[in-house]
Amino acid sequence: MMDVTLGDLQESVQDRSAFGMLNDYLTVAREFLTFLSRARPTRIVSPSHANYIFYQYGKDYGHKITRPLNTDLFLASPTELQAAFDRFVTFLADLKRRGAAAADLKGNRRYIASKEINKVIYTVQQTIGSIGDSFENPNQSRKRVGRLFETLIKLIILEVGLECEPRTISIPIPGYPGYEMSYELDLVFSRNRAIIAAETQFIHPSEVVGSVKTTSKDRIDKVFLDKYLLTKLLGRDVPVVAIFLHDVQRAQRGSSLFGIHSTFKSNHFLGYSIALNRLDGVYYVDPRPEMVANERLREQIHDFQQFLIRDLWILSR
């Protein structure tokens, strides 16, 4: 059996027919980690944040550098990832059978305390992102990487037994006959398949809208505005949650190209919360430290694990 190359992994990421199942994400992630252990690209530790690393590919790939990877979450061993992924899938099966009550099972308490859910999701998605970083033109893969994160979250929600789908809707503008606003919604989820009738206007009262992005950079205002406009145009409160992978990017600090810069705009976030509306949930797989330290942010922002084991079930009641 031939070793998988970085070129093979690039083809996997570009394959539009792939990633139809959760296990497809594991396969690509495991192959990428195996490639790292075999090819040994240069591993660089950020001088400003020691828990973030980068990999620099060789000459054949233009010495491209990956995005920052948080070693507190990134599982670098293929064997370790396989074992963690197996535990994750087993826990998803418990959630499907028992809902939020699965978190109270004695056997699951230690698993939840380990925060391994965030580690599995972070690792499989960031391996895809790191493969995308190897392309000659980053624009070749940027949208694809973001779309695959949306699909990953959709597959997880489906795996626990809920209905979940992307949806495009066209909402009539009140007072302007014949005029409509088109909305592409990343995800719409609910406990049971909702019957969309004329009076519910494209989103059933039992459904929740999810905005799923790898980062909030240049996007956070749109999420708040979406909730505001959907609620205003439909004439009722529409629950909207935001799910982000992280909010960090590489930044030059002095002579070093490997600093870490936060892309989260806390003042904008709090301003939109007051001027427009609060979102019904904001979740990060890799939350920034200020989201935990700042009391006002901590009230509204949580890690993805909380969404999966608790808030998802409350929102979709």
109-152 confidence digits (pLDDT tens): 999 999 999 999 999 999 999 999 999 887 778 899 999 999 99
Check residue 200 and give its pLDDT: 47
Give the pLDDT band of residue 199 (cuts 50, 70, 90).
very low
* The model scores a pTM over 0.85: yes
In 226-295, beta strands by DSSP E: 240-244, 248-253, 256-262, 281-284
Tokens linked to 155: 């597959």
The three-state secondary structure class of 143 is: helix
290 in Cβ contact with 298 (< 8 Å) = no
Query: Average pLDDT, stretch 290-313?
Result: 96
Q: Look up tokens 């503008």; give the residue.
A: 173
- Mean of the per-residue pLDDT values of the chain: 92
Higher pLDDT, 100 or 193: 100
Check residue 7 and give its pLDDT: 93
Q: What is the pLDDT of residues 205-231, one digit of tens each?
A: 899 999 999 999 988 999 999 999 999
Give the pLDDT band of residue 194 (cuts 50, 70, 90).
low
